[in-house]
Amino acid sequence: MASASLLKSSPVLDKSEWVKGQSLRQPSVSYVRCHPTSPSALNVRASSYADELVKTAKSIASPGRGILAMDESNATCGKRLASIGLENTEANRQAYRTLLVSAPGLGQYISGAILFEETLYQSTVDGKKIVDVLVGQNIIPGIKVDKGLVPLAGSNDESWCQGLDGLASRSAAYYQQGARFAKWRTVVSIPNGPSALAVKEAAWGLARYAAISQDNGLVPIVEPEILLDGDHGIERTFEVAQKVWAEVFFYLAENNVFFEGILLKPSMVTPGAECKDRATPAQVADYTLKLLHRRIPPAVPGIMFLSGGQSEVEATLNLNAMNQGPNPWHVSFSYARALQNTCLKKWGGRPENVKEAQEALLLRAKNNSLAQLGKYTGDGESEEAKKELFVKGYVY
């Protein structure tokens, strides 16, 4: 009996048609040497936290609930505070974060909250640990672990996400502090290519992060954001997103990432923000679900969409359209501005407005909960909630 077999791979298509000036992997024939005596080399290795990872992911992906993304860096939080005339101080950041996590009954609609590192170790204004307040609301604390975007040398003015150095030790510390899931955001820009280099770097970084997170007990949220910047149509977004997600899942598998213990945070498939042809919620749902069915294994528990600069109402309408029929995954939300915008404006930095601001947050959370169940109608929305939130070249 032969001790090895030669497996011929199917040809890999030249991707230069969609990537300017280069291709991801050239067409080739590759050979894999398989040793019957060591089959374990072909198995996906789950971390020692496998059962806990599955439990956490399923808890976050529970019916009618989604994620509150409140992981803005201190600099970005400062921009939000500046919009209502507040100085960017730790006390003001603490006050705003206290308002968010202590909204009565928030856990009915929110299953997880992504925190910035400062917030994970912070207390509320009345001295309670923010992590404990969230757990008391039946909300699982999560943590942003990437170190932000920096220019990618050799690319077309694109970026890569840093933060892998020291991630294992940081993740272990975050777990001890109470975090049970993590988030790593990288971006792909359609107007700038996207180049094969940028796509490959994004996919590889996400895969390494995911493997490291799982080894330390944190469910990784995998987030390659297709930026809204540009005047391209919805077909172009769909084309690029297919390529990006194919690359992401290739490298997730290469890194032995346990699919049952991850969550995804993709962009919805929409036209570029400057495109003249706007898409209806039904069109967004059609393209987005088609993308998911082509690229995402059913083993993945939850698809937690980012809003990416959509208005509060637009993000909710699009999510609702995607839940008009059964899906193999929990299709839900992980919104930041699309949950917080009206809340922040109602608060205005005034203690006497906290209750009204919390009611605005709860209304948005409830409406997105209804959208996750496919029951949102769009009735009674305020003009503020309909305002466009897109910012060209937005930096977190």
Q: Which residues are the active-site residues? A: 223, 265
The two structure tokens encoding residue 124: 């509320």
Instruction: Report whether 356 contacts 343 (CB < 8 A).
Output: no
Bond into 351 cis (ω within 30): no
The two structure tokens encoding residue 114: 């992504």
Dihedral sign of CA atoms 115, 121, 126, 132 in order: positive
- In degrees rounded to 5, what are phi and psi of residue 27? -55, 135
- In degrees rounded to 5, what are phi and psi of residue 187? -130, 155
* Residue linked to tokens 């208005």: 311
Encode 273-300: b = buried (16+ Cβ within 10 Å), e = exposed. bebeeebebebbbbbbbebbeebbeeeb
| Residues ≥6 apart with Cβ < 8 Å to 188 | 158, 194, 198, 199, 202, 224, 225, 226, 227, 240, 244
Interatomic CA distance for residues 90 and 95, integer angstroms = 8
Interatomic CA distance for residues 74 and 11, integer angstroms = 47
Interatomic CA distance for residues 70 and 303, integer angstroms = 18
Interatomic CA distance for residues 204 and 211, integer angstroms = 11
